[in-house]
Amino acid sequence: MGLLTFAINVTLDGCVDHQEGIADDETHALFTRLMDESGAMLWGRVTYEMMESYWPAVARGDEEAPPAIRAWAVKLETKPKYVVSSTRKDFPWTNSHHIAGDLRMGVQKLKDATPAGVLLGSGKLATELDRLDLIDEYKFLVHARLAGHGPTLYQSGLPATRRLELVSAKPLRCGAVAMHYRRAR
**Per-residue model confidence (pLDDT) at position 18:** 85
Name the average pLDDT for the chain.
Answer: 94
- Mean pLDDT value across residues 129-134: 96
Strand residues in the chain grouped as ranges (E): 4-11, 40-44, 81-84, 96-99, 118-120, 137-143, 164-171, 177-183
Per-residue model confidence as pLDDT tens digits over 63-111: 998 888 888 899 999 999 999 999 999 999 999 999 999 999 999 999 9
159 preceded by cis ω (within 30°)? Answer: no
Strand order in the sheet with 118-120: 96-99, 81-84, 40-44, 118-120, 4-11, 137-143, 177-183, 164-171
Is 7 within 8 Å of 31 (Cβ atoms)? Answer: yes
Per-residue model confidence as pLDDT tens digits over 32-48: 999 999 999 999 999 99
Question: Closest by alpha carbon to 76, among 27, 25, 40, 24?
Answer: 40
Per-residue model confidence as pLDDT tens digits over 152-168: 999 888 888 999 999 99
Helices in 40-121 by DSSP H: which ranges? Answer: 45-52, 55-60, 67-78, 103-113
**Per-residue model confidence (pLDDT) at position 66:** 87
Sign of CA dihedral 140, 172, 18, 97: negative
Point out the least confidently predicted range of 21-25, 53-57, 119-123, 160-164.
Answer: 21-25
- Mean pLDDT value across residues 104-132: 96
Give the predicted TM-score (pTM) of the model. Answer: 0.94
